[in-house]
Chain A
Amino acid sequence: MKQALLVLVLGYVILLFDVTIFAAMQISYFRIEGILPLVIWYSFRQRSLESIVVVILLALIAGTFTYASTGIWIISLCIGYILSCYIYNQIDNLTWYQDILLFWFLNTVMIVILMFGTDSTDLVWPYGVIEALLLSILTPFWFYIFELLNDLFLIEENDKKI
């Protein structure tokens, strides 16, 4: 439950930064985004069916930050989450560049769904694919931040389990 709350709060803060600070650094269609890496990270942390409720709530929050319909966010993030859970349940022992390639694939899927949902299909190539590559390169850095915060806020829970 605490993990879910952490993801929702983190998601909210990241979205706030997305629409304000990161927007200032946007070049063409490329912008640093943290919400898609957060979904992938959450799929590592929680792989239960109930966890999809958290992803849906995250999508509902994301919907308030954009003109795109909330339903598109729900579809995109849920598919990204389920796909990530499925892929990482099947494979193990990947090298760092293989991880990056998988992140690229997962980010591409989520971005393509968002682009289709917002009637911007002509941006899929090359902008969508390049944006996904940019995000996948930044994903390990995001993971580092998420892990730090996770350890910081959930350290008591982990201690109790031990």
Chain B
Amino acid sequence: MRYPFGKNRGNWNKWIKVILVVSVAILVFLATGPFREEPGLIPGFSLLTEVNAVFESVLYYPTRWFSSIFHPSIYGSGNPEILTLKHRIVALEKELAYYREVKLENIELRKELNLKRHTRLNLLIAKVIAVDGIPWIRSMILNKGLSDGVTELSPVLVGKDNSGEGGLVAGEVVDVTLHTCRLLLITDYDCRIAAVDQRSRVRGILMGQGHGICSLKFVQNGKDIRVGDIIVTSGLDGIFPKGFLLGKVISVSPDVTHGLFQTVIVKPFVNLNYITWVGIVLKTKMMH
């Protein structure tokens, strides 16, 4: 297993080395610098991501097939008619969830709220083609990109299998290339969503905890929040429309160390690690 030191020391030309080092330095600057945030400014990296997607979509096929056996997806069908109908069901479920929100809002605000809202979601069905290269980061590559109208910070939903409360928030789009995009799941540590308890209207910030659960942060001690409560998006973050389902409270305990906030653990309705099809909400065609 041990090799002699410097056995294959290269005989590169001095100038080639200098050019190589300078090229790499420029690449590093471009990859890590301020331009990293602007999609399309580094065609080389976008191109590499596109090339990755071609191989990933082929290699991920057995994984998706295996997942679909145990975790059937509402979007997962090759038949276009079935796909359209399922698409419609999810859209209707979302509307139902929205109307529940409106009803609760009306009860709370009575006369003040005299505005009827209507949300029409334009869902784009996308396929998961790969997961993140780091095991503890909960992100996925989807097969839709800029050419399909996907933009950064687009909400991503996933249908619920048991006819329940409707479409669920899977996460948000954080990076887009021409034909692919990266979905950051709500269970990831970097994901933050403005949320509210559907029953008591207590607000908080939903943060991912990595291993399939989230926590609702900044809920003050004494606020009315119970196990079993449904947590929905509050719409205050400007990314997710109001009333989208996030998960259910599975534990509530007071923060004994600081004493200011409660520790509220929220579990998403489906295991997001096994999703294979998702719906991207196209922002441009969404109306409030």
Contacts and interface: CB of A to CB of B under 8 A. Distances in A.
Interface of A: 1, 3, 15-21, 23-24, 26, 28-31, 33, 35, 44-48, 50-51, 53, 56-57, 60-71, 74, 88-89, 92, 94, 99, 114-115, 118-120, 123, 127, 131, 140, 143
Chain A, interface SS category: helix
B31 A70 contact: yes
Chain B, interface SS category: mixed
A7 B135 CA distance: 22
B2 A92 contact: yes
Contacts of B48: 61, 64
Contact of A143 (B1, B45, B67): B1
A91 B134 CA distance: 31
Interface stretch (B86-94, B136-144, B162-170): B136-144
A23 B130 contact: yes
Contacts, number: 141
B55 A16 contact: yes
B108 interface: no
Interface stretch (B56-64, B112-120, B193-201): B56-64
A67 B174 contact: yes
Interface residues on B, range: 35 or more
B21 interface: yes
A69 B36 contact: yes
Contacts of A70: 28, 31-32, 36
Contacts of B24: 53, 56-57
Most buried by B among A20, A21, A30: A20
B111 interface: no
Given A1-B10, A57-B24, A120 B210 contact: yes
Nearest to A35: B133
A51 B20 CA distance: 11
Contacts of B189: 118-120
A74 B130 CA distance: 22
B10 A50 contact: yes
